[in-house]
Structure 1
Amino acid sequence: MKISPRTILKIARLYQLADDNTPVKALRHPKVQTDESHIVAEFILNKQHFAVLYGSIIDEESIDELWPGRSANAEMLPNPLDPSFTETPFQGKFVIMFRIVPTKQRLDIHLSTTFDPSISRSLWQKYIKAGYISVNQRVVTAPKFEVDETDEIAVKLPEQEQASAELPVLYEDDDVMVVNKPSGLLTHAKGGLSTEPTVAEIIRPKTSFASDTDRPGIVHRLDRDTSGVLVIAKTADTAAHLQRQFAQRTAKKTYLAVTDGVPKLAAAKIDLPIGRNPSTPSTFRVDPNGKPAQTTYRVLAATDDQALIELKPTTGRTHQLRVHMAHLNTPILGDRVYGKPNASRLMLHAHQLEITLPSGERRIFEAAIPSVFTELFPEYANNIEEPSDQ
């Protein structure tokens, strides 16, 4: 059994919901459920939600059986030909018309559950605030704005940039994924609207942890221009297991960096607190009133004006390695914030990460040294210690 939009409009005219001048295109969002004996067709007309039950054998007693998903807000309209009968004869069959009272809900919830569930609610909120959503031809910028199914909602999203680099997977099991993040790729959106790719969005299909946010799977981060090992949690239990290791400092991180200048000491432990710079709140500095921060380093190779160094932070303050090395007057090469833009990229690489997997196995994951590092120190490239087998 079939029903066309034109037939639906004829039934609507029978119930005096439309007149002879109403065009077929006035029917919005038609949704049809078909069966051998009957049809349920929902539609929006004149900003009202209706449903029509259409078939050969239809009466009031059979409504629940013929329309199992009937809305609790569906109100039966009287028979326009004979109010003493529920069903209305129409072209050799019978129809019953219902008006469905709309249910209001927040715009961000409506979009995340109805329009495109693959986009997180938090990202929908950013799109709304940025002016990409219109309701009834008017731009709405409040995520809590209430809408229902009768509203005309127009979505015009910015074009997403395609990832400029692949995301190499170093290891994967049912609990975690370990990737080698390229320099220049954001770990996750920074809070504002981001149309560029991020690690979080690339791995979103792989994880159920924080899936309703713009940080799915993320339990730690690397700065945009830092490359190297990043572990992703696939579940909430795994995330808690990993976050506990980072908080208790049992996760061991080893970085490689090229510095602009050579540290005076070949090896040392930097124990200097770090706090936010009040004059530039997005940056940090060594501050006696800041949070404790410790970094151990050793020089692996050096020229007259650059050094290849190994860095092992025991704390995880934002920009810690960059701030500590800049404080020694040997900023990391290419650091546009704490040094000079004198390289093609920030010469900081998360080389190794030692963690305990949820299975109980202790592992060291390693991301190969980028070629831009070994080009500066080719004679020492093979002298860097390999991780021990775990």
Structure 2
Amino acid sequence: MPSAPLPVRDGLNPTRLRLPADSDSATVLDHLLARFPDDHERLREKVAAAEVVDGSGTAITAETPYRAHSFVYLYRDPPTEPRVPFEIDILHRDEDLLVVDKPHFLASTPRGRHVVESALVRLRRDLELPDLTPVHRLDRVTAGVLVFTIRPQARRPYQELFAHRAVTKEYEAVAGFDANLPLPTTVRSRIVKPDGELRCVEVAGEPNAETRVELIEASGEVARYRLLPRTGKMHQLRVHLNSLGIPIIGDNFYPTLHDVAPEDYSSPLQLLARSLSFVDPLSGATRTFTSRRRLAAWT
């Protein structure tokens, strides 16, 4: 993917648009106005202010001819979002890495209705780090250790650690307790997300997801578990604990899907990315980062 000719602004990357071949627009502006009919006034303002550019960084004008398959870059106005009322704790910072303790309910990166209220945008703004980039991601409802690179030169080595599964991940969960369930155990299954569905399902076939589940301690009908995933499929830990009959407390997806109001923070998913360990690709040192958070359901 070509690099954007516009810098990060206010924590957000510019939007990149590819001009399709099936448009009958005469100019780039005509196409933008047809594509975003509710933003006519702001689009004209952005073009007049030279805030819309092509792939070389040249400003688009009202007369710039339409060229199929070319790219256009512009800043979209971020939506107004209620602030997620939890703070990000910094665990470590050096010239290459920023490691944070992400709270529940805060998205890792801009997505859907959570744009400004994401860990990436907050940190870019608060720490004035426009090149900050996530090395991996956590679900919005999962708390814990999240790693970013600070310098563009450091991105690839650290991202490859996760791509090559060279990172030891430890999670913690509070879930139901079944005294008859033999633990520790390793769950292996094939997890897929059907098109158009919110939830993932386990299906027959070669396993693509593996999690070791260990009991830390139990109290009555609930228990605290250590989860050691070897893979990173979507919702893997939630699906695997549910398949064992011990769904995670606060999970509104498994075993049954039920709506939770967007600003309802009363029942966080009791899942925490407790720690990450890896051999640093630049220094060769073994590094471990550990969350200081505690799961509220385990007092």
TM-score by length of 1: 0.55
Tell me how far 1:301 sits from its aligned partner: 1.0
Which of 233, 253, 268 aligns to 1:345? It is 268
2:121 matched to 1:201? Answer: yes
- For residue 333 of structure 1, report the CA deviation from its aligned partner: 0.8
Q: 1:294 to 1:118 in 2, by over 3 A?
A: closer
CA distance in 2, matches of 1:123, 1:347: 37
Aligned to 2:38: 131
Q: Counterparts of 1:241 and 1:355 in 2: how far apart (Å)? A: 12
Report the alpha carbon displacement of residue 272 of structure 1 after superposing the two structures with TM: 1.2
Matched position secondary structure for 1:186 = coil
Alpha-carbon deviation of 1:249?
Answer: 1.6
Alignment partner of 1:265 is 2:182: yes
**Counterpart of 2:218?**
302
SS in 1 for 2:134: coil
**Alpha-carbon distance change, 147 to 242 in structure 1, aligned in 2, over 3 angstroms:** closer
Query: Does the alignment pair 1:228 with 2:144?
Result: yes
Distance 1:291 1:326 in 2: 17
Structure 2 residue matching 1:206: 3-state secondary structure: coil
Larger RCO of the pair (alpha carbons < 8 Å, separation 6+): 2
Q: Which residue of 2 aligns with 1:175?
A: 96
- Whichever residue aligns with residue 367 of structure 1, its letter is S
The Cα shift of 1:360 comes to: 1.8
User: Residues 260 and 331 of structure 1 are in contact (CA less than 8 Å); yes or no, is this contact kept in structure 2?
Assistant: yes
Provide the secondary structure at the position in 2 that maps to 1:273.
Answer: strand
Q: For residues 170-214 of structure 1, what are the alpha-carbon distances to aligned partners after superposition, in whole Å with 9 as ceiling and x for unaligned?
A: 001000010000001000122x45444101102223252xxxxxx
Q: Aligned to 1:331, what secondary structure does the other structure show?
A: coil
- Write out per-residue CA displacement over residues 248-298 of structure 1, whole angstroms, 9 at most, x where no aligned residue: 2220000000113437012111111211135x5232111224761110111
Tell me if structure 1 keeps the 8 A contact 2:11–2:120: no
Paired position in structure 2 for 1:276: 193
Instruction: Summarize deviations over 1:308-330 as a string: whole Å, max 9, x none.
Output: 10000011111110011111111
> Which letter maps to 1:148?
T
Q: How does 1:67-106 map to 2 (within 5 A)?
A: none
Query: Per the alignment, do residues 237 and 283 of structure 1 end up closer, same or farther by CA in structure 2, a change over 3 Å counting?
Result: farther
In structure 2, the CA distance between the partners of 1:169 and 1:266, relative to structure 1 (3 Å rule), is: same
Cα distance, 1:369 vs structure 2: 3.7
The 1:124–1:360 alpha-carbon spacing in structure 2 relative to 1, beyond 3 Å, is same
Report the Cα distance in structure 1 between the residues aligned to 2:105 and 2:277, rounded to whole angstroms.
24
Displacement of 1:243: 1.9
Consecutive unaligned residues in structure 2, runs of 5 or more:
19-31, 46-51, 65-75, 261-265
Indicate yes or no: 2:32 matched with 1:122: no
Partner letter of residue 164 of structure 1?
P
Q: 1:136 to 1:245 in 2, by over 3 A?
A: closer
Contact 2:12 2:121 in 1 (8 A): no
Q: Bigger shift: 319-328 or 295-304?
A: 295-304
Gaps of 5+ in 1: 1-108, 138-142, 209-215, 376-390
TM-score, reference length from structure 2: 0.71
Q: Would the aligned equivalents of 1:274 and 1:292 in 2 still touch at CA under 8 Å?
A: yes
1:158 to partner: Cα distance: 3.8
Is contact 2:224–2:298 with CA below 8 Å preserved after alignment? no
The secondary structure found in structure 2 opposite 1:246 is helix
How many equivalent pairs are there?
A: 250
Relative to structure 1, the CA distance from residue 116 to residue 172 in structure 2 (aligned partners, 3 Å threshold; closer, same or farther) is closer
Q: CA RMSD in A?
A: 3.7
Asked if the contact 1:257/1:349 (under 8 Å) is kept, the reply is yes
CA distance in 1, matches of 2:79, 2:233: 34
Equivalent position to 1:368, from 278, 283, 292: 292
Q: Which residue of 1 aligns with 2:244?
A: 328
**Alpha-carbon displacement from aligned partner over 1:131-176 (angstroms, at most 9, x marks no partner):** 3452459xxxxx899952899xxx9754354452221100010000
Partner of 1:166: 87
Identity %: 25
Q: Given the alignment of the two structures, is residue 243 of structure 1 paired with residue 159 of structure 2, yes or no? A: yes
The answer as to whether partners of 1:332 and 1:339 remain within 8 angstroms in 2 is: no
